[in-house]
Each structure stands twice: as C-alpha cells, then as structure tokens.
A = this chain, B = another copy of it.
C-alpha cells in the first residue's frame, strides 16, 4: 500500500491533484489509516494510471469519469459507448486543430510581410494588416 506522496511519485500527479481527483470521484484510496492517511492498493494505482493516461490523451475529467464507470463494469457497457466518447474527443481535437492551423497560416503570412527590423513601425505591414481587417478568417474556440 502506497501513501499519497508515493502514488504521486509513481504517477507524476501531485498529491494535491490526487486529492482533487478524489473529490471528483476519479481516484480512491481503498484504505485509510486510523489517523486518516490515505493508502493506495495495486488496483488503486492501476486506476490512477488509467486516469493519467486518459488525461494525457486529452479527455476531460468528466469523460474520464464515464470511462472509469465503463471500466468498472465492462459487461454492462458496449464498445460503442467507448468509441462514441473517443470520437467526440477526436472531433473536438480536429476542430481546434483547424482553428489553430488557420491562426498559424495568418501569423506566418504576417511575419513574412514584415521586415521585423529596428525601423519604426510607421509602415509596419502587420499593424496595417490588422488595421485593414484583411486577415484570414479564423474561428475562435466555441
């Protein structure tokens, strides 16, 4: 059984974050000492690692909550439930990717257009572009 700092070292999460995840139902200590210290079993560690993996991929804590409930009772859930969550996350990621790619293109174009030198900015083409409003249409996050 690991203490919270040991679980933290193992997972790379901070003890603060582990407690925060516990408050949100993601991680649990299957034992507490008489004095209230959390003690984590092997199964608890696996669960924490699952959370960490899912977090790395970009799943929200809410998503992870659902994934954990599926993991806990696989019989009662279908693969489709899992792929639905995954596909939704992928859609989100793709959406954000195209926003960022549009920004990237605009920024690159602006940088190419400007001398970037010590000259004063009286005729700075970046400032002018922003003034003219003729920047590529980019979408903001929804």
Interface 0/1 of A99-142, CB less than 8 Å to B: 01101101110110011111111101011011101011110100
Q: Report, as a range, how many residues of chain A touch the other chain.
A: 35 or more
Q: Are the CB atoms of B117 and A80 closer together than 8 Å? A: yes
Q: Are the CB atoms of B111 and A90 closer together than 8 Å? A: yes
Contacts A101-B97, A107-B90; A131 near B57 (Cβ below 8 A): no
Q: Is the interface of A mostly helix, strand, loop or mixed?
A: helix
Q: Are the CB atoms of A77 and B46 closer together than 8 Å? A: no
Within 8 Å CB of A9, what residues of B?
none
Cα-based distance from A87 to B94 in the complex (angstroms): 24
Within 8 Å CB of A76, what residues of B?
120
Q: Are the CB atoms of A90 and B116 closer together than 8 Å? A: no
Q: A81 at interface (Cβ–Cβ under 8 A)?
A: yes
Q: A33 at interface (Cβ–Cβ under 8 A)?
A: no
Enumerate 30 A-B pairs (CB-CB under 8 Å) in ascending A order.
A46-B131, A53-B133, A53-B135, A54-B130, A57-B103, A67-B127, A70-B121, A70-B124, A74-B127, A75-B120, A77-B120, A77-B121, A78-B117, A78-B119, A79-B114, A79-B115, A79-B116, A79-B119, A79-B126, A81-B121, A82-B114, A82-B116, A82-B124, A86-B107, A86-B114, A86-B126, A87-B111, A93-B104, A93-B107, A97-B104
Which 4 A/B pairs are nearest by Cβ-Cβ distance?
A83-B116, A90-B107, A74-B121, A58-B103
